[in-house]
Chain A
Amino acid sequence: MARPERHALWLVVPVALAMLPHALYVPAWVSLAAALALVWRLSPAWLKEGGAQRAARLLLAPAAVLAVLLQFRTLAGPEAGIALLVLAVALKLLESDGRRDHAIAVLAGYFLAVATLIHHQEIAAAAWLLVTTAVLTAALAAGQAAQPPAPAAALRLGAVLVAQALPLAVLLFLLFPRLAAPLGGLVHSETGRSGLSDSMAPGSVSRLILSDAVAMRVDFADPAVDARGLYWRGPVLAEFDGLTWRRGEPRPAPPPATPVGGRLDYTVTLEASGQPWLPVAGLAEDMALPSARLSGDMEWRTRLPDHGRLRYTVTAWRDYRLEPQLSPYRRAQVLALPAGRHPQAHALARQWAEQSASPRAIVERALAHFRQEPFHYTLNPPVLGDDTVDDFLFRSRRGFCEHYAGAFTVLMRAAGVPARVITGYQGGERNPIGGYWIVRDRDAHAWAEVWLEGAGWRRVDPTAAVAPERVELGLDAALPAAERPLLDLPPAWQLRLRQGWDWLDNGWNQWVLGYDQQRQRRLLGALSPRLASLDGMLWATLAGTALILAGLALSILHVRRDRPAGATERLYARFLARLARVGLVKGAAEGPVAFAARAARDRPDLAGPVRAITALYVALRYGDATRPEHLRQALAGFRPGRPPRRAKRGKVIVD
């Protein structure tokens, strides 16, 4: 049966809206097939019911399942499932045209819309989802009316329903008890971020630096902390093959470390990345993240390699003394250099070693070398020759932090000072609205650690010797003016806007997306200690739901009494009420004159005033009389009593 075209639009457009974001993630052929099916459904050709069409539909369904199976090698899992669902909904639209099919297609649309949360949960995604939900609700309502309603009216209804649903949704969102950990693990989250890598070659960090993406946000317990002075330690790279620095062989237990200096407590919200590193500043005493592990080189990492957004609270000391004793085996490891490489660097280092009294002096000598010789800090170093270290140290002398950290460590090792390369983040930007610090990929950094007798591992940042601005003010201050556009930094007015947006985004991440069991207990506990228990939450959920439902029911179902508009109607209503009290009720279909005649017949004693008042009312209501005063006066003296004795009682007409 062909139904009006508007029905088809109400079906296809909302479902297409729900499918749209999935086009970014499902294979291109799935999007194409779904789009073709929707266009076919809308075209007049669809209305011509024919054997060819039916056969095509019969063939298409198994073909779609087979194609998905071939593409994904499975039908389970979110990716294959969503691709299959997109195809199934598109084919379902071709299938039939009943009211029930319409509703089921819309339900599938709801599911598809919510399924986009697997990929995106930002504010914009939530806003899109809210709009799509309203449109789908409008579509569901459009299918239930006898005639498809006007789009504006239907959309208004959809918006009203969503608005009325929101209080309950927010209440349940806040109070519904959360699980300690997701049952089935996190969904794999797509991210363009590479994050800190566990190897370092010339150019690897500077690639990261061109990214404006947020790496993490840090909220310090002490708001006075200046994060620009902090080094966020990531992977420790101790093995060098002449070109690339890599992590050394893993050690079983963390080395002894003793805290020095004051406390430093903070909460890090680390954005999703494909790397397990958890950057930490200072010596972490406690890390509130169940999946966190500490390695033998004091690196923090999570067991989940493809993590989503992570939040961890760290109790730390600002400074520390790490590994005061170095075993000969370990010492050999952190002194190893590839044999026969970097002859010039070896020669220079040997010279420093001979002229210096202590390892400490050698370190000073090297830093002085970087300061005094014409070294330049640049994002665009020239291409280095075969021996990257010698070429950098003695020919190009232009490089980025990884060049300085790497070359410095080679020099130290050649001079007999145990040393290694550390990568991580350094610097950050304070968001003045939220009072937290933003560390971006751009703040990625590499520095060195040298082991000194009695002091353990000490941090040395050779980049600071060349470009102190890098450490003190951040990357953009350290770069030559010509290279700054590479960073694509926003102008000042945009910066303010961007900070505001970041504040919103962070709040969203923390309070909506990061609303887990811990956060729920903390928030509810702050409201009332009783709420923090499961019982308390359930009772609060019940009470709150009842309250909201009562409010909704009252506002939706309350029918205002039909109050007569003008004074005339009010007066006449009063007249009717007085007559009703003595048993004379005007029927719904009875006109005023007919009622007056009946009343006069039933109660002859009232006939005079009833006729008079009705005549006044009729003149006011239908005639040209304009002043209700006469009616008011006539009514003032009208107090019908019970019928006189022996008189027949007025017949009661109940409508």
Chain B
Amino acid sequence: MARRRFAAPWRQPAVETGPVVLGHRRLYILPTRLGLLYGILVMGLLLASANYGIALGYLFSFLMLGIGVAGLLHTQRNLLGLVLQPLAVAPVFAGDSACLHLAVEPGRRPRAGLQLDHAEAASRPIDLAANTPGRLELALAQPARGLHRPGRLTLSSTWPLGLFRCWTVFALDWVVLVYPRPAATALPLPPPADASRTTSWRRDGDDEFAGLREYRPGDSPRRVAWKSVARGRPPLTKQFAGVGGGHLFLCWADCPEADDEARLSRLARWSLDAERAGPCWGLELPGLALPPGRGARHLERALAALARHGQA
């Protein structure tokens, strides 16, 4: 299945934001190997009819030819007028498969045997009833961290007869965020921040009120600025600055590994561990620093930063 197709730069279509409507000019069609076999069969029947002088043999050879032609048109019709819409892709860790979801609107006709192909993988075919949108799922293995575009995809179908394959090529505005693979071995988290550390911002602490920030899920209810909530404003969280507040800083420099990618893996692992451990934690990378926090969005932000580290 995972046959690598020739992917030259000039075969890369322009990236579209979707929805993509499949018109005549986007559809390509060619016979399949089965179609060639069918052609040979029809030619053989025609020859046999001429050889034995069977008049009905001519008629049925031509009928089979006609079935092939009608099948060709039906194959094109099966894709014609489809509306494709890319759906968001959930980020994955390197080494896992990202699942691309493509919403397909069939319009007023039922469609059958639709399949999404990529150079490296193919989706399971789906059938769609009339007026019932469905989705195609394509699992793409993601070996490397970073922000990736899946590139060129084809939507194809050989329905109804399998004699012809009709397809369309597109590159949708899909981005797959791939986090670094968390390091396999667990290491103890670096010790909480101490006074010797110098950072460019005031660290959160419990000692001194430092300001308000937007409420994030997971913030302690004791820190919510309830007065402002009572006034009908969006919830805010009070922030305090202090020294040695017990916050964790996951630093590039603390990683025992020498290799950049290994360090990123280590930091990803620590991020997950720290999130599970409970206290607020921050992240420090060369050229980027994430203030301490916690919660799912904080973790996502940290992992995204790790994923995009060193990339434009």
Stretch among B33-41, B185-193, B231-239, B250-258 lining the A interface? B33-41
Q: Does B74 count as interface, using CB distance less than 8 angstroms?
A: yes
A contact residues around B296 at 8 Å (CB): none
- A133–B60 touching, CB < 8 Å: yes
B contact residues around A557 at 8 Å (CB): 24, 73, 76-77, 80
Q: Does A110 count as interface, using CB distance less than 8 angstroms?
A: yes
* Contact (A183, B81) CB under 8 Å given A165-B70, A557-B76: no
- Give residues of chain A (423-458) contacting chain B, Cβ–Cβ below 8 Å: none
**Chain A proximity mask over B38-62: 1 for CB below 8 Å, otherwise 0:** 1001001100001111111111111
* Contact (A133, B67) CB under 8 Å given A107-B41, A145-B127, A183-B51: yes
- A137–B127 touching, CB < 8 Å: no
Among B44, B62, B113, B160, chain A packs the most CB atoms within 10 A around the CB of: B160
* Contact (A182, B52) CB under 8 Å given A111-B41, A557-B77, A588-B83: yes
- A117–B63 touching, CB < 8 Å: no
Shortest CB-to-CB span from A89 to chain B, Å, is 13
B contact residues around A114 at 8 Å (CB): 45, 57, 60-61, 64
Shortest CB-to-CB span from A82 to chain B, Å, is 12
**Chain B proximity mask over A580-592: 1 for CB below 8 Å, otherwise 0:** 0000000011000
Residue of B63, B81, B85, B113 near A165 (CB, 8 A) is B63
- B80–A559 touching, CB < 8 Å: yes
- Give residues of chain B (1-50) contacting chain A, Cβ–Cβ below 8 Å: 19, 24, 34, 37-38, 41, 44-45, 50
In the bound assembly, the distance between CA atoms of A566 and B103 in angstroms comes to 28
In the bound assembly, the distance between CA atoms of A149 and B160 in angstroms comes to 11
- Give residues of chain B (95-132) contacting chain A, Cβ–Cβ below 8 Å: 107-108, 112-114, 124-127
Q: Does A144 count as interface, using CB distance less than 8 angstroms?
A: yes
Residue of A103, A149, A169, A182 near B66 (CB, 8 A) is A169
Residue of B52, B59, B64 near A512 (CB, 8 A) is B59
- B56–A513 touching, CB < 8 Å: yes
In the bound assembly, the distance between CA atoms of A589 and B103 in angstroms comes to 13
- A100–B34 touching, CB < 8 Å: yes
Q: Does A33 count as interface, using CB distance less than 8 angstroms?
A: no
A contact residues around B61 at 8 Å (CB): 114
Q: Does A141 count as interface, using CB distance less than 8 angstroms?
A: yes
Q: Does B71 count as interface, using CB distance less than 8 angstroms?
A: yes
- A166–B126 touching, CB < 8 Å: no
Q: Does B265 count as interface, using CB distance less than 8 angstroms?
A: no
Shortest CB-to-CB span from A47 to chain B, Å, is 21
A contact residues around B60 at 8 Å (CB): 114, 117, 129, 133, 169
Among B41, B53, B107, chain A packs the most CB atoms within 10 A around the CB of: B53
- A137–B81 touching, CB < 8 Å: no
- B160–A164 touching, CB < 8 Å: no
- A655–B50 touching, CB < 8 Å: no
Stretch among A61-69, A172-180, A368-376, A385-393 lining the B interface? A172-180
Q: Does B174 count as interface, using CB distance less than 8 angstroms?
A: no
Q: Does B159 count as interface, using CB distance less than 8 angstroms?
A: yes
In the bound assembly, the distance between CA atoms of A141 and B68 in angstroms comes to 12
* Contact (A104, B37) CB under 8 Å given A144-B113, A182-B52, A655-B19: yes
Among B52, B60, B66, chain A packs the most CB atoms within 10 A around the CB of: B66
* Contact (A126, B70) CB under 8 Å given A110-B64, A169-B62: no
Q: Is the interface of A mostly helix, strand, loop or mixed?
A: helix
- B55–A121 touching, CB < 8 Å: yes
A contact residues around B45 at 8 Å (CB): 111, 114
* Contact (A118, B54) CB under 8 Å given A140-B161, A145-B127, A165-B63: yes
In the bound assembly, the distance between CA atoms of A162 and B161 in angstroms comes to 12
Residue of B56, B108, B127 near A117 (CB, 8 A) is B56
In the bound assembly, the distance between CA atoms of A129 and B76 in angstroms comes to 28
- Give residues of chain A (145-160) contacting chain B, Cβ–Cβ below 8 Å: 145-147, 149, 157
Q: Does A516 count as interface, using CB distance less than 8 angstroms?
A: yes
Q: Does A366 count as interface, using CB distance less than 8 angstroms?
A: no
Q: Does B89 count as interface, using CB distance less than 8 angstroms?
A: no
B contact residues around A169 at 8 Å (CB): 59-60, 62-63, 65-66
- B160–A187 touching, CB < 8 Å: no
Q: Which residue of A lies closest to B46 (CB)?
A: A176
Q: Does A503 count as interface, using CB distance less than 8 angstroms?
A: no
B contact residues around A126 at 8 Å (CB): 56, 59
Q: Does A168 count as interface, using CB distance less than 8 angstroms?
A: yes
* Contact (A179, B50) CB under 8 Å given A140-B161, A161-B67, A162-B67: yes
B contact residues around A145 at 8 Å (CB): 112-113, 125, 127, 159-160
- A121–B162 touching, CB < 8 Å: no
- A167–B66 touching, CB < 8 Å: yes
Shortest CB-to-CB span from A152 to chain B, Å, is 13
- B54–A161 touching, CB < 8 Å: no
- A172–B160 touching, CB < 8 Å: no
- B59–A184 touching, CB < 8 Å: no
Interface size on A, residues (CB 8 A): 62
Q: Does B158 count as interface, using CB distance less than 8 angstroms?
A: yes
A contact residues around B62 at 8 Å (CB): 168-170, 172-173, 176
- B41–A161 touching, CB < 8 Å: no
A contact residues around B64 at 8 Å (CB): 110, 114, 133, 165
In the bound assembly, the distance between CA atoms of A172 and B64 in angstroms comes to 12
Q: Does B69 count as interface, using CB distance less than 8 angstroms?
A: yes
Q: Does A567 count as interface, using CB distance less than 8 angstroms?
A: no
- A512–B53 touching, CB < 8 Å: no
Q: Does A14 count as interface, using CB distance less than 8 angstroms?
A: no
In the bound assembly, the distance between CA atoms of A103 and B67 in angstroms comes to 15
- B69–A146 touching, CB < 8 Å: no
- A556–B77 touching, CB < 8 Å: yes
- A168–B55 touching, CB < 8 Å: no
Q: Does A514 count as interface, using CB distance less than 8 angstroms?
A: yes
Q: Which residue of A lies closest to B157 (CB)?
A: A144
B contact residues around A125 at 8 Å (CB): 56
- B55–A512 touching, CB < 8 Å: yes
In the bound assembly, the distance between CA atoms of A187 and B54 in angstroms comes to 8
In the bound assembly, the distance between CA atoms of A119 and B288 in angstroms comes to 84
In the bound assembly, the distance between CA atoms of A329 and B161 in angstroms comes to 74
* Contact (A556, B74) CB under 8 Å given A107-B38, A121-B55: yes
- B161–A137 touching, CB < 8 Å: yes
* Contact (A140, B63) CB under 8 Å given A557-B24, A588-B19: no
In the bound assembly, the distance between CA atoms of A130 and B125 in angstroms comes to 31
Q: Does A552 count as interface, using CB distance less than 8 angstroms?
A: yes
In the bound assembly, the distance between CA atoms of A156 and B34 in angstroms comes to 23
In the bound assembly, the distance between CA atoms of A99 and B161 in angstroms comes to 11
Q: Which residue of A lies closest to B17 (CB)?
A: A655
Q: Does A282 count as interface, using CB distance less than 8 angstroms?
A: no
In the bound assembly, the distance between CA atoms of A589 and B133 in angstroms comes to 14
Q: Does A186 count as interface, using CB distance less than 8 angstroms?
A: yes
- A515–B161 touching, CB < 8 Å: no
* Contact (A513, B55) CB under 8 Å given A104-B37, A137-B67: yes
- A117–B65 touching, CB < 8 Å: no
Q: Which residue of B lies closest to A553 (CB)?
A: B73
Residue of B34, B63, B80 near A133 (CB, 8 A) is B63
Using a CB–CB cutoff of 8 Å, the interface residues on chain B facing chain A are 19, 24, 34, 37-38, 41, 44-45, 50-67, 69-71, 73-74, 76-77, 80-81, 83, 85, 107-108, 112-114, 124-127, 158-162
Given A125-B56, A556-B73, A557-B76, 15 additional A-B pairs, CB 8 A: A100-B34, A104-B37, A107-B34, A121-B55, A133-B63, A133-B64, A137-B67, A146-B114, A165-B64, A176-B62, A182-B52, A184-B51, A557-B77, A562-B108, A589-B19
Q: Could you name 27 residue pairs across A and B whose Cβ atoms are closer than 8 Å?
A: A110-B64, A114-B45, A121-B54, A121-B55, A121-B56, A144-B158, A145-B112, A145-B113, A146-B113, A146-B125, A149-B127, A157-B160, A161-B71, A161-B74, A164-B70, A165-B64, A165-B65, A168-B69, A169-B62, A169-B63, A173-B59, A179-B53, A182-B50, A516-B53, A549-B69, A552-B70, A556-B70
Nearest 4 CB-CB pairings of A with B: A165-B66, A182-B53, A168-B66, A141-B160
